[in-house]
Structure 1
Amino acid sequence: MALDVMTRPHTLIASDRIEGTAVRRANGERIGHIERLMIDKVSGKVSYAVMSFGGFLGIGSNLLPVPWALLAYNRELDAYQLDIDEEDLKSAPSFTEKRDFDWGDHAEETALHRHYGVAPYWGEF
Protein backbone atom coordinates (compact mmCIF):
# COMPACT_ATOMS: atom_id res chain seq x y z
CA MET A 1 0.00 0.00 0.00
CA ALA A 2 1.51 3.33 -1.05
CA LEU A 3 1.52 6.30 1.26
CA ASP A 4 -0.32 9.38 0.08
CA VAL A 5 2.02 12.30 -0.51
CA MET A 6 0.95 15.54 1.15
CA THR A 7 0.58 18.13 -1.60
CA ARG A 8 -0.97 21.01 0.32
CA PRO A 9 1.37 23.40 2.14
CA HIS A 10 1.27 23.23 5.92
CA THR A 11 3.21 24.53 8.91
CA LEU A 12 3.72 21.27 10.80
CA ILE A 13 7.06 19.47 10.86
CA ALA A 14 8.16 16.15 12.32
CA SER A 15 10.60 16.45 15.22
CA ASP A 16 13.23 14.30 13.47
CA ARG A 17 13.31 16.82 10.62
CA ILE A 18 14.17 19.64 13.05
CA GLU A 19 17.18 17.77 14.41
CA GLY A 20 20.26 18.93 12.54
CA THR A 21 18.63 22.14 11.31
CA ALA A 22 20.95 25.13 11.39
CA VAL A 23 20.53 27.96 13.87
CA ARG A 24 21.62 31.30 12.45
CA ARG A 25 21.68 34.99 13.25
CA ALA A 26 19.54 37.39 11.20
CA ASN A 27 22.59 38.13 9.01
CA GLY A 28 22.91 34.43 8.11
CA GLU A 29 25.90 33.68 10.35
CA ARG A 30 25.70 30.10 11.58
CA ILE A 31 25.58 29.72 15.36
CA GLY A 32 25.07 25.97 15.64
CA HIS A 33 22.41 23.38 14.96
CA ILE A 34 19.53 21.76 16.79
CA GLU A 35 20.42 18.44 18.39
CA ARG A 36 16.99 17.65 19.83
CA LEU A 37 13.80 19.12 21.22
CA MET A 38 12.55 18.89 24.78
CA ILE A 39 8.77 18.58 24.99
CA ASP A 40 6.69 19.04 28.13
CA LYS A 41 4.93 15.71 28.65
CA VAL A 42 1.87 17.26 30.26
CA SER A 43 1.16 20.24 27.98
CA GLY A 44 2.64 18.74 24.81
CA LYS A 45 4.40 22.03 24.04
CA VAL A 46 8.00 22.28 22.89
CA SER A 47 9.93 23.76 25.82
CA TYR A 48 13.53 23.84 24.57
CA ALA A 49 15.68 23.27 21.56
CA VAL A 50 18.99 21.73 22.59
CA MET A 51 21.51 23.45 20.35
CA SER A 52 25.13 22.56 19.72
CA PHE A 53 27.37 25.60 20.03
CA GLY A 54 31.10 26.11 19.64
CA GLY A 55 33.71 23.46 19.00
CA PHE A 56 34.97 22.36 15.62
CA LEU A 57 33.09 19.83 13.49
CA GLY A 58 31.04 18.86 16.52
CA ILE A 59 34.10 18.19 18.67
CA GLY A 60 34.26 20.15 21.90
CA SER A 61 30.91 21.80 21.40
CA ASN A 62 28.59 22.64 24.27
CA LEU A 63 24.92 21.81 24.27
CA LEU A 64 22.71 24.76 25.09
CA PRO A 65 19.09 24.34 26.12
CA VAL A 66 17.48 27.36 24.46
CA PRO A 67 13.89 28.27 25.33
CA TRP A 68 11.83 27.44 22.25
CA ALA A 69 10.14 30.86 22.41
CA LEU A 70 13.46 32.49 21.41
CA LEU A 71 13.70 30.67 18.09
CA ALA A 72 11.83 31.65 14.94
CA TYR A 73 11.96 29.78 11.65
CA ASN A 74 13.37 31.99 8.89
CA ARG A 75 12.35 30.73 5.44
CA GLU A 76 14.98 32.82 3.64
CA LEU A 77 17.76 31.30 5.75
CA ASP A 78 16.15 27.83 5.82
CA ALA A 79 17.16 27.84 9.48
CA TYR A 80 15.96 28.77 12.92
CA GLN A 81 16.89 32.33 13.77
CA LEU A 82 18.25 33.20 17.21
CA ASP A 83 18.99 36.82 18.07
CA ILE A 84 21.35 36.33 21.02
CA ASP A 85 24.84 37.82 21.04
CA GLU A 86 27.96 35.67 21.22
CA GLU A 87 28.86 36.54 24.81
CA ASP A 88 25.38 35.66 26.10
CA LEU A 89 25.60 32.30 24.35
CA LYS A 90 29.08 31.63 25.75
CA SER A 91 27.89 32.37 29.29
CA ALA A 92 24.57 30.52 28.95
CA PRO A 93 23.85 27.44 31.05
CA SER A 94 25.13 24.50 29.04
CA PHE A 95 26.12 20.88 29.29
CA THR A 96 28.20 18.37 27.35
CA GLU A 97 27.67 14.86 26.05
CA LYS A 98 29.33 13.61 29.25
CA ARG A 99 27.23 15.73 31.64
CA ASP A 100 23.55 16.21 30.86
CA PHE A 101 21.41 19.14 31.95
CA ASP A 102 19.34 18.22 35.03
CA TRP A 103 15.88 18.53 33.53
CA GLY A 104 14.31 17.70 36.90
CA ASP A 105 15.99 20.61 38.70
CA HIS A 106 13.49 23.45 38.68
CA ALA A 107 16.11 25.92 39.99
CA GLU A 108 18.41 25.10 37.06
CA GLU A 109 15.60 25.64 34.56
CA THR A 110 14.65 28.92 36.27
CA ALA A 111 18.26 30.13 36.05
CA LEU A 112 18.27 29.23 32.37
CA HIS A 113 15.18 31.35 31.67
CA ARG A 114 16.53 34.23 33.73
CA HIS A 115 19.77 34.15 31.73
CA TYR A 116 17.82 34.60 28.50
CA GLY A 117 15.33 37.06 30.05
CA VAL A 118 12.24 35.13 29.02
CA ALA A 119 9.36 33.78 31.06
CA PRO A 120 9.55 30.03 31.63
CA TYR A 121 7.22 27.78 29.68
CA TRP A 122 5.41 26.85 32.93
CA GLY A 123 4.50 30.46 33.80
CA GLU A 124 6.05 32.95 36.20
CA PHE A 125 9.53 32.85 37.79
Structure 2
Amino acid sequence: MEATMTPDVMMKPHSLIASDRIEGTAVRRPNGERIGHIERLMIDKISGKVSYAILSFGGFLGLGSNLLPLPWARLTFDRKLDAYQLDISEEELRSAPSFTEKREFDWGDRSQEEALHRHYGVAPYWGEF
Protein backbone atom coordinates (compact mmCIF):
# COMPACT_ATOMS: atom_id res chain seq x y z
CA MET A 1 0.00 0.00 0.00
CA GLU A 2 1.53 3.30 -1.07
CA ALA A 3 1.27 6.25 1.30
CA THR A 4 0.35 9.64 -0.10
CA MET A 5 0.52 13.02 1.54
CA THR A 6 -2.55 15.18 1.23
CA PRO A 7 -2.37 18.92 1.89
CA ASP A 8 -4.37 18.39 5.10
CA VAL A 9 -1.77 15.97 6.48
CA MET A 10 1.13 18.25 5.56
CA MET A 11 -0.44 21.24 7.35
CA LYS A 12 -0.90 19.63 10.77
CA PRO A 13 1.66 20.90 13.30
CA HIS A 14 4.19 18.30 14.39
CA SER A 15 7.84 18.12 15.42
CA LEU A 16 9.29 17.08 12.04
CA ILE A 17 10.18 19.40 9.17
CA ALA A 18 11.71 18.78 5.76
CA SER A 19 15.21 20.21 5.30
CA ASP A 20 14.16 22.32 2.31
CA ARG A 21 11.58 24.05 4.52
CA ILE A 22 14.29 25.09 7.00
CA GLU A 23 16.48 26.74 4.38
CA GLY A 24 15.47 30.39 4.13
CA THR A 25 13.72 30.43 7.49
CA ALA A 26 14.32 33.61 9.45
CA VAL A 27 16.50 33.65 12.56
CA ARG A 28 15.42 36.23 15.13
CA ARG A 29 16.44 37.46 18.56
CA PRO A 30 14.02 36.90 21.48
CA ASN A 31 12.68 40.44 20.92
CA GLY A 32 11.73 39.52 17.32
CA GLU A 33 14.58 41.43 15.63
CA ARG A 34 15.71 39.61 12.49
CA ILE A 35 19.37 38.49 12.50
CA GLY A 36 19.43 36.63 9.18
CA HIS A 37 18.22 33.35 7.72
CA ILE A 38 19.26 29.72 7.60
CA GLU A 39 21.23 29.11 4.44
CA ARG A 40 21.66 25.35 4.88
CA LEU A 41 21.99 22.53 7.41
CA MET A 42 25.04 20.34 7.93
CA ILE A 43 24.00 16.79 8.78
CA ASP A 44 26.28 13.96 9.86
CA LYS A 45 25.99 11.30 7.13
CA ILE A 46 26.48 8.38 9.52
CA SER A 47 24.39 9.36 12.56
CA GLY A 48 21.84 11.51 10.73
CA LYS A 49 22.13 14.18 13.42
CA VAL A 50 22.19 17.88 12.55
CA SER A 51 25.58 19.27 13.48
CA TYR A 52 24.97 22.90 12.72
CA ALA A 53 23.02 25.38 10.67
CA ILE A 54 24.65 27.94 8.44
CA LEU A 55 23.26 31.38 9.28
CA SER A 56 23.49 33.99 6.54
CA PHE A 57 23.57 37.56 7.84
CA GLY A 58 24.74 41.00 6.80
CA GLY A 59 25.24 42.06 3.24
CA PHE A 60 22.68 43.67 0.99
CA LEU A 61 20.06 41.67 -0.91
CA GLY A 62 22.03 38.50 -0.21
CA LEU A 63 25.29 39.90 -1.61
CA GLY A 64 28.37 40.05 0.58
CA SER A 65 26.72 38.05 3.34
CA ASN A 66 28.66 36.49 6.19
CA LEU A 67 28.06 32.81 6.80
CA LEU A 68 28.05 31.66 10.39
CA PRO A 69 28.17 27.97 11.32
CA LEU A 70 25.90 27.78 14.35
CA PRO A 71 25.43 24.71 16.56
CA TRP A 72 21.93 23.39 16.03
CA ALA A 73 21.47 23.17 19.80
CA ARG A 74 21.62 27.00 20.04
CA LEU A 75 18.47 27.43 17.96
CA THR A 76 14.92 27.02 19.17
CA PHE A 77 11.83 27.26 16.99
CA ASP A 78 9.34 29.98 17.92
CA ARG A 79 5.91 29.17 16.52
CA LYS A 80 4.60 32.70 17.14
CA LEU A 81 7.41 34.25 15.08
CA ASP A 82 7.51 31.32 12.62
CA ALA A 83 11.27 31.64 12.93
CA TYR A 84 14.23 30.13 14.70
CA GLN A 85 15.20 32.03 17.81
CA LEU A 86 18.79 32.75 18.74
CA ASP A 87 19.65 34.51 21.97
CA ILE A 88 22.92 36.14 20.91
CA SER A 89 24.39 39.58 21.51
CA GLU A 90 25.71 41.67 18.66
CA GLU A 91 29.23 41.28 20.09
CA GLU A 92 28.96 37.48 20.28
CA LEU A 93 27.60 37.41 16.72
CA ARG A 94 30.47 39.52 15.36
CA SER A 95 33.18 37.54 17.23
CA ALA A 96 31.80 34.12 16.27
CA PRO A 97 33.72 31.92 13.83
CA SER A 98 32.39 32.90 10.41
CA PHE A 99 33.41 33.13 6.80
CA THR A 100 32.31 34.87 3.64
CA GLU A 101 30.81 33.22 0.58
CA LYS A 102 34.13 33.67 -1.23
CA ARG A 103 36.28 31.92 1.41
CA GLU A 104 36.61 28.15 1.48
CA PHE A 105 35.58 26.37 4.67
CA ASP A 106 36.46 22.76 5.47
CA TRP A 107 33.07 21.38 6.50
CA GLY A 108 34.53 18.05 7.62
CA ASP A 109 37.28 19.38 9.91
CA ARG A 110 36.33 18.05 13.36
CA SER A 111 38.69 20.54 15.09
CA GLN A 112 36.73 23.44 13.53
CA GLU A 113 33.48 21.86 14.68
CA GLU A 114 34.88 21.51 18.22
CA ALA A 115 36.06 25.15 18.26
CA LEU A 116 32.64 26.24 17.07
CA HIS A 117 30.82 24.33 19.82
CA ARG A 118 33.28 25.59 22.45
CA HIS A 119 32.69 29.19 21.33
CA TYR A 120 28.98 28.78 21.99
CA GLY A 121 29.41 26.65 25.12
CA VAL A 122 27.31 23.85 23.64
CA ALA A 123 28.24 20.17 23.67
CA PRO A 124 28.61 18.80 20.14
CA TYR A 125 26.07 16.28 18.86
CA TRP A 126 28.66 13.48 19.09
CA GLY A 127 29.14 13.97 22.85
CA GLU A 128 32.10 15.36 24.77
CA PHE A 129 34.97 17.38 23.35
Q: TM-score, normalised by structure 1?
A: 0.91
Is 1:76–2:80 an aligned residue pair?
yes
1:3 is displaced (CA, Å) by 5.2
Cα distance in 1, alignment partners of residues 21 and 82 from structure 2: 12
Where in structure 2 are there 5+ consecutive unaligned residues? none
Q: Is the 8 A contact 1:94 1:101 kept in 2?
A: no
Q: Which amino acid aligns with 1:4?
A: T
Q: Tell me the matched-pair count.
A: 124
Aligned twin of 1:97: 101
Cα deviation digits, residues 14-72 of structure 1 (max 9, x gap): 11011100000010000000000111111111111101022222122110010000000
Instruction: Give the root-mean-square deviation of aligned CA atoms.
Output: 1.5
Identity of aligned residues (%): 78
Cα distance in 2, alignment partners of residues 78 and 122 from structure 1: 28
Is 1:88–2:85 an aligned residue pair?
no
Q: Is the 8 A contact 2:71 2:117 kept in 1?
A: yes
Q: Is the 8 A contact 1:21 1:80 kept in 2?
A: yes
Where in structure 1 are there 5+ consecutive unaligned residues? none
Q: Is the 8 A contact 2:64 2:101 kept in 1?
A: no
